[in-house]
Amino acid sequence: MKPATKIRFRGTVARLSDASAHLESPGDTVLVERGRPRLLMIACPCGCGELFPINLDPRAGPAWRLYSDPRRGVTLYPSVWRESGCESHYVIWRSRIYLFGRYEDEFDSTADMDEVTELTESIRNRLPSEGLTSFYDIAESLDAIPWDVLTVCRRLVRMRVAREGKGKQRGSFGRA
Ligand SMILES: [Zn+2]
């Protein structure tokens, strides 16, 4: 099967055992929700044919944050890494699947979206003049998708308006 480049959201089920019937092609996704979001099941986008569960429930262990609405599509934060099977690593952002690299790598070449660009001024105003703030904290304060914020921060660095930390501070930004 060919790798998927987009998430296809197939709906919400209450039980994990009901999910697989909706997962036919790579990138197909079902939300398992009982009282609160439990799991996102994805037919592995690489095309290996395996189902890939992503935990969304902090009470059940390390959890991913799901951003999902009709306007912005499906986003997961942080990136997801399969530790078994095909060991694929994905960034899922606005229903698009990026099958490469670490999140620190550039993936904004296709992200020339007005909505993302609209965040520029608010993000710029939140960059500290001393020290650094992580793009995730900026996203939280704006109720924005972290990958949107990271993309804008990187653009601001290229415009020499912002600076990015090095090493462990990668992903943290301040005013240039
Ligand atoms: Zn796979």
Q: Which two tokens stand for residue 125?
A: 């105003």
Q: How far is the CA of 103 from the centre of ligand 1 (A)?
A: 18
Tokens 């909505």 appear where?
A: 115
Q: How far is the CA of 85 from the centre of ligand 1 (A)?
A: 7
Q: Which amino acid is at 171?
A: G
**Residue 175's pLDDT band (cuts 50, 70, 90):** very high
Q: How far is the CA of 105 from the centre of ligand 1 (A)?
A: 21
d(CA 130, CA 51): 45
Q: How far is the CA of 89 from the centre of ligand 1 (A)?
A: 9
- Residue 94 contacts residue 107 (beta carbons within 8 Å): no
Picking from 25, 79, 20, the residue whose alpha carbon sits closest to that of residue 54 is: 79
User: 137 in helix, strand or coil?
Assistant: helix
For 82-120, the pLDDT digits (tens) are 888 888 888 899 999 887 654 445 565 555 578 888 999
Q: How far is the CA of 6 from the centre of ligand 1 (A)?
A: 14
pLDDT at 110: 54
C-alpha distances out from residue 85 to 17, 18, 48, 64, 71, Å: 21, 23, 8, 20, 33
Q: How far is the CA of 150 from the centre of ligand 1 (A)?
A: 26
Q: How far is the CA of 169 from the centre of ligand 1 (A)?
A: 31
pLDDT at 115: 81
Q: How far is the CA of 42 from the centre of ligand 1 (A)?
A: 10
Q: How far is the CA of 120 from the centre of ligand 1 (A)?
A: 35
pTM over the 0.75 mark? yes
Residue 164 has pLDDT above 70, yes or no: yes
pLDDT at 107: 60
pLDDT at 14: 96
For 9-58, the pLDDT digits (tens) are 999 999 999 999 999 999 999 999 999 999 999 999 989 999 989 999 99
